[in-house]
Amino acid sequence: MDRSQIKVWATSLTALVFLVVGISGVMLFFHLGEQYVKNLHEYLGVLFVFAAFFHLFFNWKPMKRYFTKRAFQIGLVGTILVSALFVLNSSSSHSSKGALANLLLQAPLQTSSSVFHTDAKSAIESLKSANIDAREQDTIVSIAKRNQISPMEVVNVLLNKE
């Protein structure tokens, strides 16, 4: 395969993957079919990075001209600033789902068991039948730590998904 064919492949792959990542990103933004496109978006996002570098490598000379243009430089600075704002904003606040999950995992079993539609004594019995040592004052995290398992394993037993 000669260099011109490689350039065509690099550009085509980049454009096609960009199209799918862009569409799936918009779908995720509007919560449309999230369960179908989340993994696709993530994996093709990684492929897009490789495709973009591949494209950049084989089209370096023409790309260098774009890097010197004022529009590119303004766009680059704007993209960096907006990205930094998103990263800084998201790192200073936790998602509500994460906060709720953390509260559940850190609450005493006598409190958290109601989320699993049971009482603490029944929850302890379920855990003991799965060979997991637990007490009413324990949290899911402390139960997991003492039994050397993940908190999700404890949750799965409490959800009867052993």
Instruction: Find out whether 66 and 60 touch, Cβ atoms under 8 Å.
Output: no
Q: SS3 helix, strand, coil % of the chain, rounded to 5?
A: 80, 0, 20
pTM of the shown model:
0.52
CA distance 46 to 71: 26
CA distance 141 to 87: 28
Contacts of residue 157, defined as CB under 8 A and 6 or more positions apart, other chains included, come to 126, 127, 130, 132
pLDDT confidence band for 101 (50 / 70 / 90): confident
**Mean residue pLDDT across the chain:** 89
| pLDDT at res. 13 | 92
Residue 161 has pLDDT above 80, yes or no: no
Please write the tens of the pLDDT for every residue from 107-120.
998 888 888 888 99
Question: Is pLDDT larger for residue 96 or for residue 48?
Answer: 48
Residue 26 has pLDDT above 90, yes or no: yes
Instruction: For the chain, give the percent of residues with pLDDT over 70.
Output: 94
pLDDT confidence band for 103 (50 / 70 / 90): confident
The per-residue DSSP string of 92-139 comes to: HS--HHHHHHHHHHHSBHHHHGGGGTS-HHHHHHHHHHTT----TT-B
Q: Positive or negative, the Cα torsion across 24, 29, 33, 38?
A: positive
Average pLDDT over residues 38-46: 94
Q: Sketch the domain layout of the chain as residue ranges.
A: 3-94, 98-158
| pLDDT at res. 117 | 87
| CB count in 10 Å sphere of residue 98 | 10
